[in-house]
Amino acid sequence: MASTIHAADHAPAVRSEVSTDWSEALRHCSTLVASGVCGIDQALMPLMRILSAPVAIAATSSPTPSPSVTAYRNAGIPDAVLRVFALRFLRLSTASGEPSRNTVSLCRFAQQRDTFHSDSPSELMLASEKVAIPRMRELIDDGLWSAACQLFHCSVASDVGLAVGIEAYSAGARWVEATKLMELMSPAAWTERELACVLGAMYTTARKDDATKRKYTPKHVSTDEDPLVTEEALWRTALSITQKFVCTRIDVDAYSQHRAAAEAPIFSSSSAISNLFGILGCFRRWQQALTVAAQHVLRESEDDDQHSRAAVVPLNVVGLSQLCFALQSKWSIALAISSKLIERGVVRFEELDAVAMQRMLRCCLSGNRWAEASRMVDAWSSRYHKATGGPLEESGSESSKRAALPPTLHLDQCMKLLQLLGTRSETRHARSSLLQHHLLARATNSDIKSRAINAMVQSARSTHEAHQWSNELETHGLLEENESLVHRVQLCAQENMWRESLRLCGILLHDRCHQGVGSYIPTASLHDWSQYAINSAPAPGPSWEVSVSLFSHMMAAHVPMSDVSFQAVVRRCFSQGASQQANNVFALMMKRGVGRR
């Protein structure tokens, strides 16, 4: 309230000085703003009244000359003084970071007057860019993109100013406005930076809409006025501006006088194309993504002309990750392209980040490509060795190890990957590295530890391997799952380790309830493998009483009896001279039937 009173007190003096001494009026207005007596809008109010009043008179009289020119003439304000006023208050407004409405109007008056006299860039235009653009970049770097957009509308829309405006709107994911500003620029003035900014804003919007698949409707844009609001328009616009950018850059006529520019690469980085792949991936447009990859990623430099070579993108790990994302429904194509780029040396396994690794591993899981999956996991392990100075099992605190590792896969994906790798001896190192990595990254969750290690037990191909993972469970104080014990019974039976097989079977049948996990419900599979272990044991082996005892226990538990178990018991009894027991078992099975309870 106090500042309003002071401004009112000074307003008559300003009005009087404006009509007589312009330099004194300028000094007086600047002093008011600098001393904080009033704001910029209040200080300029008397001057704006003088400039605006004749406009209405001129607008109602004759369409020529223009109202703006009439305003300057009728106001009697010299053009030089008007420019000085505009420049002074433009700097004050820009420095304050709060562009005023009266400053904008004053700059427009001065700019239109300069344009009336000459078509060349005005002093105001140059000063506006010199003052406003650095400030806009500072606001963008500080995350104040909205303030940068407000300041953009106070400056003159040259190509340089439009470029910074594109950056400001892109920082706020306002792709519609950024696209409009880009269309205002001459295509020849487009740079890779503006293209990457616009595509980045589109990708941010596409990621938000990927889950809902609904139309993107900005609050400040009406769908009746602007067609660029549907998701289809988004990815089509992204493809259109990218193609237009490339076509403009490889136009021979445009660079006929600059041969070096014509032979220079169009893309110096993969930022723009990476964002384009991300947009197409969000909308499941794998055909368009494959076309873009064929044009800008997979070209053979020795077979193409100079313009085709210039359009090749130096793809990095982020671009490869986005390409895999765009081709997620076509895993075979994604893996083929990735392998080709890695073979060329464009991207190395050691350079893959966590996101790229995860997306490529998903492709491997979809196609059961265990060799590629093993190579990627080994690359992870190699990176870990370089980061920590040793393998996963050696020295180093868990916190430092976890910090050196990228985020893990989802638990279900990790289990599938372990099962995929666990079927081959060549992947032993990769499986161990993957599990250790998963345990370190999820060290606080004992349930995930238990599930991961038990999965390794159940995918083991030998008793030695299964025993190692079982010891790992014991080391971490975790319980071995019933399915893991059943799998170990099977492995022991296959390797003629009948004592260990029967011991594990006894744990399942008798000791589970004492471990706080409740009783185990036996299955026909467990009975089959246990009887197989007894019957295939080398001499002297277990007695027929052991086989009959196990058979009786399973019958009492109402376990369905298979022909495998029945034949094994009968064969064991006959082999050791217990023919009467064999006949009793045979009669019982004839009465109850095989495969019935």
**Greatest mean pLDDT range, 100-104, 177-181, 270-274, 365-369:** 177-181
Note the pLDDT of residue 443.
43
Question: Quick one: 113 exposed, middle or buried, by C-beta within 10 A (0-12, 13-18, 19+)?
Answer: buried
Domain parsing of the chain, residue ranges: 1-132, 522-597
Which residue shows structure tokens 């090749």? 312
When pLDDT is averaged across residues 572-583 and rounded to a whole number, the result is 77
N-term to C-term CA, the chain: 94
Examine the pLDDT at 261 and tell me if it is beyond 80.
no
Q: Where are the alpha helices (DSSP H) in 422-562?
A: 428-441, 446-458, 463-475, 482-494, 498-506, 524-535, 544-556
Q: Which stretch of 287-301, 351-365, 388-402, 405-419 has the lowest confidence by average pLDDT?
A: 388-402
Taking alpha carbons only, the member of 103, 116, 22, 7 closest to residue 65 is 116
Q: Is 326:277 a contact under the CB 8 Å cutoff?
A: yes
Q: What's the rounded Cα separation, in Å, for the pair 44 and 105?
A: 10
Higher pLDDT, 590 or 162: 162
More confident site: 184 or 431: 184
Per-residue pLDDT tens over the stretch 426-469: 666 676 666 665 554 544 456 667 777 787 788 788 888 888 88
Q: What is the pLDDT of residues 58-72, one digit of tens each?
A: 343 344 444 434 443
Q: Model-level pTM?
A: 0.51
CA distance 429 to 452: 16
Q: Find, among 516, 525, 451, the residue nearest to 488 by Cα.
A: 525
Average pLDDT over residues 237-260: 66
Average pLDDT over residues 351-377: 71
Which range, of 101-110, 130-139, 276-285, 353-362, averages the lowest pLDDT?
Answer: 101-110
> Above 60 in pLDDT, residue 113?
no
The span from the CA of 176 to the CA of 182, in Å, is 10
